[in-house]
């Protein structure tokens, strides 16, 4: 159920995004033109600081109330690093680090071979290479979570802010399947700008988990856009003298699609709800994993059905469908694909066995033990 806060945020998001995110904006962004005007509107309205503390200039929204912003990025296919900056600001703010100006990206250090946060005399430095970093060439800062290299992993994870405009940082720019900036960042003994212990004890890899949570909401938004486009098209497109949506074959596909969208949305909304429910701390890792698996799986099925329903017109650049479906193909991979998170869930389920599975499922605590050391 929507709280008043959530409804107010949803209205604001709808107003800002419907006014500003046009077909032309998306197309220009894809062609390499950074939409600075959009970024200005977003930051003037404080959307990027929605989860940050008041001290950091933020709105201190709960994850539950901020859900419409992240869903909106998907529904309107907003071509700026808003989700990354939003999550980065939340992590910094939770860790008591000042939130800087400018777009930010996210790196979970342990997910990149040979990338380490390590001690160098009295300071911590970042060394190595991070790949597939969202908005690598656009972001001014990176927020990382990491365990300090060669320190036992029982220690709490650290959050660190890295200035990407400094010596020792080399960017090689690339693009996602949706044509959004993504790239490789090389760090040669790069000092952190600030670092602190991540205070929460319920997410083992904060950047990875919260990134997955944010992507799940974005996927839900893009799924809803694809479904909306498909239903509209099926009602409008006339063949053999009637709308193609009158055909049972099309109706059956769209009904399955609606089931996929509703499943992804339920899994994701449950995860956002438990992020804001202190009695559900032990469920959060599980809920996030479930959300990213179901949202990413639905991304695959829904984009397939949407294109089939649209026929050839959906294959053109002129039609808007691809802005949603190509993002679905990109986002299902980010911050752990469906297979990645399913693998973690599966190992835990096998360990629980026939006796432990159902109790852990009803308590949603299947992944709680993996963070027991904290």
Partner 1 sequence: MQQIQIDPCSLDAKCEALRAEAREFLAEALCDYRPADRAANWSGVSAEFSRKLGERGWIGMTWPKRFGGQERTALERYVVLEELLAAGAPVGAHWIADRQSGPLLMRFSPEVLAPRILPGITRGETFFCIGMSEPNSGSDLASIRTRAERCADGWKINGSKVWTTGAQRAHYMIALVRTAAPSDERHAGLSQFLIDMRTPGITVRPIRNYLGEAEFNEVFLDNVIVSDDCVIGAPGDGWKQVGAELALERSGPERYLSSTQLLLEMLDAADPADSAMATELGRLTARYATMRQMSLGVAGMLSRGESPGVAAAIVKDQGALLEQSIPDVAHALFGDTALDQTSLATVQNYITQASPSFSLRGGTREILRGIIARGLSLR
| Cβ atoms of residues 158 and 197 within 8 Å | yes
d(C-alpha 351, C-alpha 366), whole Å: 9
Q: What are phi and psi of 7, to 5 degrees?
A: -65, -40
Tokens of 135: 């908005």
Tell me which residue of 283, 286, 120 sits closest to 212, measured CA to CA.
286
Residues facing residue 145 across a β-bridge: 108, 159
- In whole angstroms, the minimum distance from the beta carbon of 283 to partner 1 comes to 10
Stretch that binds partner 1, among 99-107, 134-142, 195-203, 356-364 (CB under 8 A): 356-364
Q: Binding to partner 1 by residue 328, rule CB under 8 A?
A: no
Q: Binding to partner 1 by residue 218, rule CB under 8 A?
A: no
H helix runs in the chain, sequence order: 4-20, 23-30, 36-44, 63-75, 82-95, 206-236, 248-275, 284-310, 321-331, 338-363
Q: For residues 361 and 371, which CB has a smaller minimum distance to partner 1 in the complex?
A: 361
Q: Binding to partner 1 by residue 352, rule CB under 8 A?
A: yes
Place of tokens 């009637």: 242
Q: Binding to partner 1 by residue 358, rule CB under 8 A?
A: yes
Burial of 20 (0-12, 13-18, 19+ CB in 10 A): middle
Among 90, 144, 342, 368, binds partner 1 (CB under 8 A): 342
Q: For residues 143 and 225, which CB has a smaller minimum distance to partner 1 in the complex?
A: 225
Among 270, 324, 328, 330, binds partner 1 (CB under 8 A): 270
215 alpha-carbon distance from chain centroid: 2
Q: Binding to partner 1 by residue 316, rule CB under 8 A?
A: no
Output DSSP code: residue 60: -
Q: Binding to partner 1 by residue 281, rule CB under 8 A?
A: no
Among 104, 217, 227, 330, binds partner 1 (CB under 8 A): 227
Tokens of 127: 């060394």
Q: For residues 128 and 245, which CB has a smaller minimum distance to partner 1 in the complex?
A: 245
If binding means CB under 8 A, how many residues of this protein chain bind partner 1?
59
Tokens of 225: 């856009």
- In whole angstroms, the minimum distance from the beta carbon of 241 to partner 1 comes to 14
Q: For residues 85 and 296, which CB has a smaller minimum distance to partner 1 in the complex?
A: 296
Tokens of 301: 């099925």
Q: For residues 21 and 348, which CB has a smaller minimum distance to partner 1 in the complex?
A: 348
Q: Binding to partner 1 by residue 361, rule CB under 8 A?
A: yes
Residue numbers of the site for partner 1 (CB under 8 A)? 1, 224, 227-228, 231, 234-235, 243, 245-246, 248, 250-252, 254-256, 258-263, 266-267, 269-270, 273, 277, 286-287, 289-290, 293-294, 297, 338-339, 341-354, 357-359, 361-362, 364, 366
């Amino acid at each position: 159920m929507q709280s008043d806060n959530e409804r107010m945020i949803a209205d604001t998001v709808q107003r800002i995004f419907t006014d500003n995110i046009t077909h032309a904006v998306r197309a220009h962004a894809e062609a390499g033109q950074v939409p600075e005007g959009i970024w200005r509107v977003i930051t003037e309205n404080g959307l990027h600081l929605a989860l940050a503390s008041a001290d950091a200039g933020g709105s201190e929204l709960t994850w539950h109330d901020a859900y419409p912003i992240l869903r909106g990025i998907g529904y309107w296919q907003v071509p700026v690093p808003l989700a990354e900056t939003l999550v980065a600001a939340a992590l910094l703010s939770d860790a008591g680090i000042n939130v800087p100006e400018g777009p930010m990206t996210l790196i979970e250090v342990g997910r990149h071979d040979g990338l380490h946060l390590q001690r160098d005399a009295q300071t911590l430095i970042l060394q190595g290479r991070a790949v597939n970093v969202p908005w690598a060439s656009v972001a001014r800062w990176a927020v990382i979570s990491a365990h300090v290299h060669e320190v036992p992993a029982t220690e709490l994870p650290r959050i660190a802010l890295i200035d990407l405009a400094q010596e020792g940082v080399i960017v090689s720019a690339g693009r996602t399947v949706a044509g959004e900036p993504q790239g490789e960042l090389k760090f040669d003994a790069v000092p952190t700008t600030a670092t602190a212990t991540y205070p929460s004890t319920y997410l083992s890899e904060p950047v990875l988990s919260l990134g997955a949570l944010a992507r799940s909401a974005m996927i839900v938004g893009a799924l809803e856009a694809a479904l909306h486009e498909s239903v509209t098209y099926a009602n409008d497109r006339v063949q053999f003298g009637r709308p193609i949506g009158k055909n049972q074959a099309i109706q059956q596909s769209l009904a399955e699609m609606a089931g996929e969208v509703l499943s992804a949305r339920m899994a994701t909304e449950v995860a956002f709800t438990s992020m804001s429910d202190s009695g559900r701390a032990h469920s959060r890792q599980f809920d996030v994993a479930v959300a990213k698996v179901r949202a990413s799986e639905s991304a695959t099925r829904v984009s397939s059905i949407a294109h089939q329903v649209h026929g050839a017109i959906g294959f053109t650049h002129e039609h808007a469908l691809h802005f949603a479906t190509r993002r679905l193909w990109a986002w299902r991979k980010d911050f752990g694909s469906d297979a990645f998170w399913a693998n973690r869930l599966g190992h835990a389920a096998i360990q629980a066995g026939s006796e432990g599975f159902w109790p852990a499922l009803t308590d949603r605590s299947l992944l709680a033990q993996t963070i027991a050391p904290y």
